A and B are shown apart, each in its own frame.
Chain A
Amino acid sequence: MADLKVMLVDDEQEFATTLAERLRMRGIETVTAFDGEEALKLMAAQRPNVVVLDIMMPGMSGLQVLGKVTAMYPDLPVILLTGIGSTSEGIAGMKIGAHDYLMKPLQIEELIEKIRSAAAKRI
């Protein structure tokens, strides 16, 4: 699993760091970014296999980041995180190239499953 590297983008730092720690505990290498610009900058350096991206962010929104990511790295799978009930945003994201979407609060097992399937698709 060493080749699996996830980038987690969420403005809610506590959420992002905690979730990153939990993923690491399960052996998934994870980097975190707290806004869109930072994520795009880190992406070039870190080269993640999968991006987990929150849609609701101040500044650059998740969907804008998604647009840039799919333009720059067409093969990089992105899993969107939406607020609960915001199904339409998830679907909108998938239409512009997201791999899948998940509703917060998450079930960690479900997230890992999606990450794995996204990574598998890429390979």
Chain B
Amino acid sequence: MKLRQSISQIFSGLAEVPDQENAPIRYNIVRRNMTVLMLLITLVPLTLMTVINYYEYRSVLRDEIVTPQKVLVNKAKHSIELFLANRLATVNFIASAYTFEELADEANLNRIFRVLKREFEGFVDLGLIDSAGLQVSYAGPYKLQGKDYSEQTWFEHVRVNGTYISDVFKGYRRFPHLALAVQHLPENGKSWIVRATINTAKLDELIASMGLDHESDAFLVNKEGILQTNSKYYGQALEQCPCVPSVSYEPTVVEKTDPKGRAIILTYAYFPSTNFIFMLIKPQAQVMKAWYTLKADLFIVFLISVAVIVVVVLRLTKTMFQRMKESDDKRALALREMEHNHKLSSIGRLAAGVAHEINNPLAVINEKAGLMKDLIEFTPDFPDKERFLGPVGTIIGSVDRCRAITHRLLGFARRMDVEIQVLDVNDVIRETIGFLEKEALYRNIKLNLKFARELPRIESDRGQLQQVFLNILNNALQAMDDGGTVSVATFERDEQSIGVTIQDTGHGMSDETLKHIFEPFFTTKSSGKGTGLGLSITYGLVKKLGGDVDVQSKPGKGTRFTVYLPVKQQESQGS
């Protein structure tokens, strides 16, 4: 349930549309979620597959490597068992085929021993021991007649079990060999034991016939860990080998580190009837070579896949979110523009209404003040004539100012009538600058004009364009201290439009101011100096003429207005 909740949370998080307020943070969060999610749904299955493959391959390869070793060990074990069983059967045959007396006869035993040596490899000597443990007769290279075995453990063993195969030992004979003993129990009850020893060289031969490669080692060891045959790595026969594995009569494979610190694969099997363990040792590095190669391949493929997925996911989400953000931005911009237009038009209607309403009282004030002035002027000997004329003049002046304001308000509201003609913008600007040259000269402001030579003539309204440029230039002049520079340049933007840039070296504007400069009644000038209508009228006029205005400004660096104007008027405009 919790998992389901958290998953649905992630998805609802993804579906959320970022607020305008903290959009960048929102976008980053959503983008991060998306990236994590995409990485999870791609990397988790990949990792799972890789891990499963790893274990699958490992078990398959292990079987492939291990099985032949087991077979080999089994075969070797069998041939050794067979060899020992065969020799034991021979000795058993001798014990059964001859009577005690026949075997006790030294000459007879020697003859039997010679035949035995000829027919079966590896026999070193042959002897008869009576039930008391005394050596009765002996055939072989040593002088062992009369030796007493009654105290030895093997003697007890053979008395109980009937047969006995010894561990490898040196004993009297000074080279490694092993003893086989068989007890014969005839009907009359007098038992005897035939004992033969065999050279272990035959065991070495059997092991050598396995055809092992030069890095592998195979040997016999007894359960006490004493080497029964020579080992390549762990010493000669009868030396102690520290590696006795746990009991298993079936061939068994273990991976381990040997006392010398090498990683090895040990395959071994216990002999069921004797004290021996057959061991086959191979270095892991050699056996597992194929597996290591495969493992490395698997790992490299995994890493490359992960890298590719990560790169693709990151790029994908980045592109996706860029697109999303762009479209959101566009939408927001369109909305803002619409809002702005709406605001301008409703303010415009309000302004027009106010202007009309104010106009009539203004006309009355104007006439009353005019009448007062007339009375003062037309009456000879009017007392304090000058003192009255002053205030009346101020009233009339103020009415004029109000008149100017209402005029502009209405102009803003109605944007006046458009009279389209084909004109040269360079000329219009030149005329407009004519109005301002005196002020510029007086204030030591440099006017830098850079007109495009082949500027296409455009369809537009001369008077309104003049007003546009006049407003912007006026603003530029007002924004500057004496001694600055105003640069005016015209250029062909593309086939459909031209542009005019007006750049000043004035105080510039803050971003906050920039946001509002086209709104009516927004002014940074001290009260009474500006109506706050200039730029909103400018904006309205340029829009009316089918153009656009762009402002860039940095506080302290100056402001640049760019006015774009269409070369041809569309039908719907200019009406």
Contacts and interface: CB of A to CB of B under 8 A. Distances in A.
- With most chain A CB atoms within 10 A of its CB, the pick from B359, B368, B399, B410 is B359
A15 interface: yes
Contacts of B416: 85, 87
Contacts of A108: 370
A91 to B, nearest CB: 9
Contacts of A83: 355-356, 359-360
Interface string B357-391: 00110111111101100110010000000000000
Nearest to A17: B367
A12 B374 contact: no
Contact of B371 (A18, A56, A84): A18
B367 A22 contact: yes
B403 interface: yes
A25 B368 contact: no
A85 B370 contact: no
B360 A85 contact: no
B355 A85 contact: yes
Interface of A: 12, 14-15, 18-19, 21-22, 25-26, 56, 83-88, 104-106, 108
Contact of B374 (A25, A56, A87, A105): A25
Interface string B506-521: 0000000000000000
With a 10 A CB-CB cut-off, give which of A15, A25, A105, A106 has the most chain B CB atoms.
A105
B399 A105 contact: yes
A19 B378 CA distance: 15
Given A14-B364, A18-B370, A84-B406, 12 more contacts: A12-B363, A18-B368, A18-B371, A25-B375, A56-B356, A56-B360, A83-B360, A84-B403, A85-B409, A85-B416, A104-B363, A105-B362
Contacts of B225: none
A68 B548 CA distance: 46
8 contacts: A12-B360, A14-B368, A19-B367, A85-B410, A104-B362, A104-B366, A106-B363, A106-B367
A71 to B, nearest CB: 28
Interface of B: 355-356, 359-360, 362-368, 370-371, 374-375, 378, 399, 403, 406-407, 409-411, 414, 416-417
Given A22-B374, A25-B378, A104-B359, A85 B367 contact: no
Contacts of A56: 356, 360
Nearest to B358: A84
Nearest to A20: B367
B419 to A, nearest CB: 12
Nearest to B378: A25
A22 B378 CA distance: 10
Contacts of A86: 410
Contacts of B370: 18, 22, 108
Given A104-B360, A105-B399, A87 B367 contact: no
Given A85-B410, A104-B359, A105-B403, A18 B364 contact: yes
Contacts of A105: 359, 362-363, 365-367, 399, 403
A5 B469 CA distance: 46
Given A104-B359, A105-B362, A105-B399, A84 B407 contact: yes
Contacts of A14: 364, 367-368
Given A12-B363, A14-B368, A85 B407 contact: yes
A15 B363 contact: yes
